[in-house]
Homo-oligomer: A and B are copies of this chain.
């Protein structure tokens, strides 16, 4: 590759008419559970935008069901966990599982995708990180303050670590299985970790993320470690693992690069809403990101978080082409 590679979090999604057409006939979970459908929507942005990576269409919550914590997506409300996990008995009930048995459709989608992509575009697998998964399990869905999650963490540290231990082992196996099935890189989404300060991260999170990433890194594929609101956690996240650190738009990319040092690559970090800006402002902000990483080997261009539903696919395509053109060496 002679230009900066670019892909977008949530590049397969409601902002694309092709995706909405599939969603008219199938729920999100149906798409995740039918490898042919997951393959189709994964390929849509690769065809339409010319991005440099496909990312498996799936949801970070998928492992919860085979763990014994079923959920659904309530209209307009996001995920709802049927039986939130708040006590010792709830945590004991959670099961470790073999991904080939618990999530065979995900691994089948990866195999199908590798055939379809035919070596032309690499495929990224992913999983949610333990804190982010725990926040859904404990709160029962989305949250503003993570009050129940933090209370469990502070008041019942042994239960907390037991929950995190199970989640991190599930995620470790799941990412390993995705790589074994053909994923050529994986991303760990610790989307909501930015709710925590440094002391909490060190004490309650880092050992569990390390458990996952120290093993997954041995598989020899790029491992992207991503979160939002992580300005104060970047060094700790780097130490927890990953060969690429994903940065949201709040942290200036040049600062992130300076702080992270030479041992890791960086991914990011355009504000997803800037895709909706007029082209002159959009170009200027893309230039700022590229300039921040210009003296850096190992920058993957991406947004700071997922594409939003109202975004124009034309803007996404514009950015792909613009990044390629401006970064060509």
Q: Which residues of A contact B (CB under 8 A)?
A: 145-147, 150-151, 154-155, 194-200, 229, 231-232, 249-252, 255, 271-274, 276-278, 281, 285, 288, 308, 310
Contacts and interface: CB of A to CB of B under 8 A. Distances in A.
Given A155-B278, A199-B288, A231-B232, A150 B250 contact: no
A255 B232 contact: yes
A252 B154 contact: no
Given A194-B250, A198-B252, 10 more contacts: A150-B271, A150-B276, A151-B273, A154-B273, A154-B278, A196-B250, A197-B271, A229-B250, A231-B231, A231-B251
Nearest to A200: B271
* Most chain B CB within a 10 A radius of its CB, from A197, A272, A277, A308: A197
Total copies of the chain: 2
A251 to B, nearest CB: 6
A271 B285 CA distance: 33
Contacts of A252: 197-198, 232
Nearest to A145: B308
A232 to B, nearest CB: 5
Contacts of A251: 231-232
Contacts of A308: 145, 147
Contacts of A229: 194, 229, 250
Contacts of A151: 273, 276
Nearest to A248: B197
Given A199-B288, A308-B147, A310-B147, A250 B231 contact: yes
A200 B229 CA distance: 16
A227 to B, nearest CB: 12
